[in-house]
Amino acid sequence: MVKSREVLPQPESKFINTQCPDCGSEQIIFDRASTVVKCNVCGKTLVKPTGGKAVIMIKKSKQQILG
Ligand SMILES: [Zn+2]
């Protein structure tokens, strides 16, 4: 017998407005980034992928959820 399983709704990915801790440049990044995201001004790594949710390498107080 096969039980019908409820499919959990997938949370939608979000774009996050980040601020580079080094140069202060603001950048919109994808919170499920699958590649390293670097600051487009100074090259500092802002996001590292970990196989699932991306790790955002900035202070949380700098994050602003856009959607
Ligand atoms: Zn920077």
Q: How far is Cα 29 from Cα 10, in angstroms, rounded to an integer?
A: 19
> Looking at residues 48-67, what average pLDDT do you find?
63
Domain 15-65 has CATH 2.20.25.100: yes
How many angstroms is it from 51 CA to the middle of ligand 1?
A: 24
Whether the per-residue pLDDT at 30 is higher than 70: the answer is yes
CB-based neighbours (< 5 A) of ligand 1, an ion: 20, 22-23, 25, 39, 41-42, 44
Q: How confident is the prediction for the chain on average, in pLDDT?
A: 76
How many angstroms is it from 5 CA to the middle of ligand 1?
A: 46
> Looking at residues 40-63, what average pLDDT do you find?
73
How many angstroms is it from 23 CA to the middle of ligand 1?
A: 4
Confidence of residue 8 (pLDDT cuts 50, 70, 90): low
Q: How far is Cα 5 from Cα 29, in angstroms, rounded to an integer?
A: 34
Q: How far is Cα 55 from Cα 33, in angstroms, rounded to an integer?
A: 9
pLDDT tens, position by position, 14-26 = 788 888 889 999 8
How many angstroms is it from 13 CA to the middle of ligand 1?
A: 24
Confidence of residue 52 (pLDDT cuts 50, 70, 90): low
Please tell me the predicted confidence (pLDDT) of residue 39.
Answer: 92
